[in-house]
Structure 1
Amino acid sequence: MSDEPRFLNDVTVELVKHSASDTDVLWAARVSTAGEQSLEEVGKDPERSKGLINYLMRDRHGSPFEHNSMTFFVSAPILVFREFMRHRVGWSYNEESGRYRELQPVFYVPGHERKLVQEGKPGRYVFVDGSPEQHKLVTEAMEGAYRQAYAAYQEMLEAGVAREVARAVLPVGLFSTMYATCNARSLMHFLSLRTKNEQAKVPSFPQREIEMVAEKMEAAWAELMPLTHAAFVANGRVAP
């Protein structure tokens, strides 16, 4: 890659590996009453039992939603990962290391659709659109700071300073990459907190940048487990 900084206003989320379907919920749930006969559910059409999925979601019987796995590749600003890794139950992470590789000059600059101005008190605030002048200021200030920070980073590397020391000058707007693995239950908990949705029983106020990641994860999961996703939405986006 070139040492010339690149500026992005979006994130990347790719589903790279999975073992996840609505059927996984059914056989896991039915073992409690059917024992070994629950194995017969493995090959059945889950549409015939979507009422059971909805019941489990509604009454918050959560463990049947854990018998699946999804691994995502995520490329996003470091500030997103520092929020993301607060989610520890049912998640596994591996992130690129600034100790072992030279970090690339890819940085986050908000797009014009990103609301810039916070109004109201903590806990009761909203974000509103910024003015053209504010967007211009944000873009110019961020790009200038990024260029200066990365130039300092490169200067130290060229002088023989260790990567793990030189990286300290780099900002949280720098893009990083990770693999994140979860199950449907842990993903639903993440989505309940990291998306803002009118159908949610419990309101959430996520930072927009992590919500961008969450929206892309939700879209991929909804294709894998459409009945489970529909039940999650129908029951107020509350994790079981």
Structure 2
Amino acid sequence: MSQTPAASTQSPDGPDSSDSELARFRSEVTVELVKHSAADSDVLWAARVSTAGEQSLEELQKDPERSKGLINYLMRDRHGSPFEHNSMTFFISAPIFVFREFMRHRVGWSYNEESGRYRRLEPVFYVPGADRKLVQQGRPGKYEFVEGTTEQHELTGRVMEDSYRQAYAAYQEMLAAGVAREVARAVLPVGLYSSMYATCNARSLMHFLGLRTQHEQAQVPSFPQREIEMVGEQMEAHWARLMPLTYGAFNANGRIAP
């Protein structure tokens, strides 16, 4: 990750010619689990209500380990609704282009993202890290990414950083002239970092992971963009700690959401 000094503090719309020069460049994404109500026992009481009625509430006091076979059965035979009675809320910081892919996932997800209409957007931009594969080979559905050359990495970083600085300078100029934030933001690129809350349940998260991550246990291949996969990997790590039996069943059954 490369990063220049942080931008100076100033009034929300006040011009500061140094901001474009002090732009920050990042290569990572961050995912914070801010709240949750999610446990393997949630799957069990939801499933057992069909046969036990109110007695299914007893699952709240029992060790879910004793019923991991039921969780595996539900996953294997794709009885999906018991996996919906839980909730996880994440705070995510990533480039705008990641969020535009993210919001293709609509079922079982809720989003609230920071707004360029209501706040002055900060000059924090995405530049691929040295480990980001740059060269695409093959056709859609069969392609792969391979390492770029040192020259390609240097070119990518230099061109991106120059473009970002110019775009942010234009944004500042428009704000200083009194142009509304919702209009001025149009000059900013999708490599700008944004932040959002994303809330989901285990079932919707499994659908997301099945499409947006690559894994050796996956039955169905996926070809995600690396940057959204980075988000998915961090969300997956949080979920695995909250619902280890459900997570294990997901992997054991080919990472196919029920």
Deviations 1:176-215 (A, max 9, x none): 0000000000000000000011210000000000000000
Deviations 1:83-110 (A, max 9, x none): 0000000000000000000000000000
Are residues 1:140 and 2:158 paired?
Answer: yes
Q: Aligned-pair distance for 1:122?
A: 1.7
Q: Aligned-pair distance for 1:124?
A: 1.1
Q: What CA distance in whole angstroms lies between the structure 2 residues aligned with 1:197 and 1:25?
A: 24
Q: What CA distance in whole angstroms lies between the structure 2 residues aligned with 1:146 and 1:84?
A: 23
Residue 73 of structure 1 corresponds to which residue in structure 2?
Answer: 91
Q: Aligned-pair distance for 1:71?
A: 0.2
TM-score, scaled to structure 1 = 0.99
Are residues 1:9 and 2:27 paired?
Answer: yes
TM-score, scaled to structure 2 = 0.92
Residue 253 of structure 2 corresponds to which residue in structure 1?
Answer: 235
What is the SS of the residue equivalent to 1:24?
Answer: helix
Letter in 2 for 1:91: W
Q: What CA distance in whole angstroms lies between the structure 1 residues aligned with 2:172 and 2:181?
A: 10
Residue 140 of structure 2 corresponds to which residue in structure 1?
Answer: 122
Q: What CA distance in whole angstroms lies between the structure 1 residues aligned with 2:244 and 2:165?
A: 44
Are residues 1:44 and 2:58 paired?
Answer: no
Question: 1:199-214 residue pairs with structure 2 within 5 A?
Answer: 199-214=217-232
Deviations 1:98-156 (A, max 9, x none): 00000000000000100000001122111000000000000000000000000000011
Are residues 1:53 and 2:81 paired?
Answer: no
Unmatched runs of 5 consecutive residues or more in structure 2:
1-6, 9-18
Q: What CA distance in whole angstroms lies between the structure 1 residues aligned with 2:65 and 2:208?
A: 26
Deviations 1:33-83 (A, max 9, x none): 111110111111000100000000000000000000000000000000000
Residue 97 of structure 1 corresponds to which residue in structure 2?
Answer: 115
Q: What CA distance in whole angstroms lies between the structure 2 residues aligned with 1:223 and 1:156?
A: 47
Percent identity over the alignment is 81
What is the SS of the residue equivalent to 1:42?
Answer: helix
Runs of 4+ displaced beyond 2 Å:
none
Cα RMSD of the aligned pairs, angstroms, is: 0.6
Residue of structure 2 aligned with 1:63, choices 57, 81, 93: 81
Residue of structure 2 aligned with 1:222, choices 226, 240, 258: 240
Q: What CA distance in whole angstroms lies between the structure 1 residues aligned with 2:226 and 2:61?
A: 40
What is the SS of the residue equivalent to 1:124?
Answer: coil
Q: What CA distance in whole angstroms lies between the structure 1 residues aligned with 2:229 and 2:57?
A: 37
What is the SS of the residue equivalent to 2:46?
Answer: helix
